[in-house]
A and B are shown apart, each in its own frame.
Chain A
Amino acid sequence: MRKYIEFARVQMQVHAAYSAWFWANTFSVLLRMLVIYFFWKAVYSSRTEIEGMPFDSMITYIIIAMFLQMFVSGVGQELAHTIKDGNVAIELMRPYHLITRLIAMDMGDKIIHFIRGALPLGILAFVFMDIALPTTWQGGLLFLLSALMGIWIGTFFDLLIAILAFWTINLWGLEVMKEAVISFFSGALVPLILFPEWFQTVSLFLPFQAMVYVPVAIYTGILTGTEAWLALGSQIFWAVLLFVLLRILWSIAIKKVTIFGG
């Protein structure tokens, strides 16, 4: 356990060092917030509510979802690189579990991103845009729990895709496709309640809505009471399922390495 905490800590220091990318990221998020804000302002220019959501709860949903989406991808790229350049063979000999190490590093990453990026920008959004706090304090607490689950589900899914690098030559295409699918089905762009009926039904059976929609819907009060708890239960289900799948696929993939390695 101690060594994994150390990995997370080192990763945090690495990130604090790359400041050009940090500023680029921060500025880009700020721009995206502006585009979103003006877009929705225009949408609401001729009406007061859509599907029962007034402007401020819509903008709250969209901005919180945008922030959360930044945390639901993981270190898949890192894993894919390790696989592609063959370093995975060496990594496997080291005295740690590579997947666990990557998850630890990812946690370090995300903590530093939260503190340096999301938190200040979030405060800015609260001050200058019409973002509301959670409707109840229980809702707020449940949101935190649900957001953590969503982030885990996203991380596991990301690693799961990355393992496919053992079989495909290039992962870039898959990564783009994954991003597109996630922003589609996870409710990162618009609350799923705005989608056509059939689309909502399909997304109920996919893990993506558990990444963004569920936590943010709890935050904004779209999901409350029993519904919220049920949604949290489904998140736990997905997290466990994806984690097990990850382990299985990983052990199959590793066998391939040992065969290649002779």
Chain B
Amino acid sequence: MLTRYMKLYYLFCKQNLKVMMEYRMDFLLGVLSVMLQQFAGIFFVKIVFDHIHQLNGWTFYEILFIYGIAATGRSIHHIFFDNLWTLGWQYIRPGKFDRLLIRPINPLFHFIADRLQQDGFGQLFIGIIVISTAMPHLDVSWGVLEFFILVIMIIASGFIFVAINLFFATLSFWMVDSLPIVWTIFNLSDFARYPLTIYHKGIRHLLTWIIPYGFTAFYPAAYFIEGSGFEKLALLTPIVAIVTCVVAYWFWNRGLRAFTSTGS
């Protein structure tokens, strides 16, 4: 079954790539724009740090590291799961979603595999550059184990983004289009680009235990920052990723059932 799905995903991808190559100019422009957008965010931090030495105890490279993990994690979501944004207005509203239900594959898989978002590659690229710029300036001796943990953390970060978006996109089954909600919640991830310690306690708890965007950047980064005080909490990151994904998938299945019973 797993091999069948992998084969299917490969076929979906191939189709997607063909479309991308058809509009090569579009592809390049998209990637370049997203890179520029990411770069603007980094440049902002750089400008500010030209005038200060540390932000509430955090150095420039530590902030950069957090930013890089956020960008790379988000790029996983952006490249492979971007279709989540379109559930309401491109699938449910025009009646296109029913089509997915009659196919002999998991509708969530089909829905996600329907699109590969090329622009995310720009983000991935910038994210990796930022992380590798910051890495040598942290007090960490980078060995195989550290790299392995870093990769796990980034993948977990990506899946937390996916889970949160899936959860709120699922609301579309009841309200036709939940895009405004998805978008609002997604904006909360802006907080995650900076150390959570700069915020009010309420915000910190919200982003740790309720909508866990803190685990998409700050906590995983804090694992590698000596004396951050969050090394232990950081180890929860993969667990948070698994739990949020399970919860979101369970919610999706509930939504699906509600949808099929009203749609027929």
Contact = CB atoms under 8 A, between A and B. Distances in A.
B33 A177 contact: yes
B187 A47 contact: no
Highest count of chain B CB atoms <10 Å: which of A177, A180, A184 = A180
B241 to A, nearest CB: 23
Contact size range, A: 35 or more
A53 to B, nearest CB: 10
A176 B181 CA distance: 21
Interface residues of B, number: 37
A172 B188 CA distance: 23
A150 B10 CA distance: 49
B119 A173 contact: yes
Contact of B180 (A21, A174, A176, A180): A21
A230 interface: no
Contact of B56 (A21, A28, A42): A42
A31 B26 CA distance: 32
Interface in B172-205: 180-181, 183-184, 187-188, 190-191, 194, 198-200, 203
Given A38-B200, A194-B48, A177 B188 contact: no
Interface stretch (B37-45, B99-107, B218-226): B37-45
Interface in B9-62: 23, 25-26, 29-30, 32-34, 36-37, 39-40, 43-44, 47-48, 50-56
A140 B12 CA distance: 58
A170 interface: yes
Contact of A173 (B32, B44, B50, B181): B32
Interface string A190-215: 10001110000000000000000000
Interface string B214-248: 00000000000000000000000000000000000
Given A168-B25, A170-B26, A173-B29, A39 B194 contact: yes
Nearest to B46: A196
A32 B190 contact: yes
Contact of A28 (B26, B44, B51, B184): B184
Contacts of B184: 24, 27-28, 31
A197 to B, nearest CB: 11
A240 interface: no
Q: Is the interface of A mostly helix, strand, loop or mixed?
A: helix
B198 A39 contact: yes
A189 interface: yes
B55 A43 contact: yes
A59 to B, nearest CB: 13
Nearest to B27: A173
Nearest to B187: A28
Contact of B50 (A27, A46, A196): A196
A42 B191 CA distance: 13
Nearest to B49: A43
A43 B54 CA distance: 8
A20 interface: yes
Nearest to A50: B51
Contacts of A46: 52-54, 56
A43 B29 contact: no
Nearest to B175: A20
A170 B190 CA distance: 27
Nearest to B22: A169
Interface of B: 23, 25-26, 29-30, 32-34, 36-37, 39-40, 43-44, 47-48, 50-56, 119, 180-181, 183-184, 187-188, 190-191, 194, 198-200, 203
Interface of A: 20-21, 23-24, 27-28, 31-32, 34-35, 38-39, 41-43, 45-47, 50-51, 168-170, 172-177, 179-181, 183-184, 189-190, 194-196
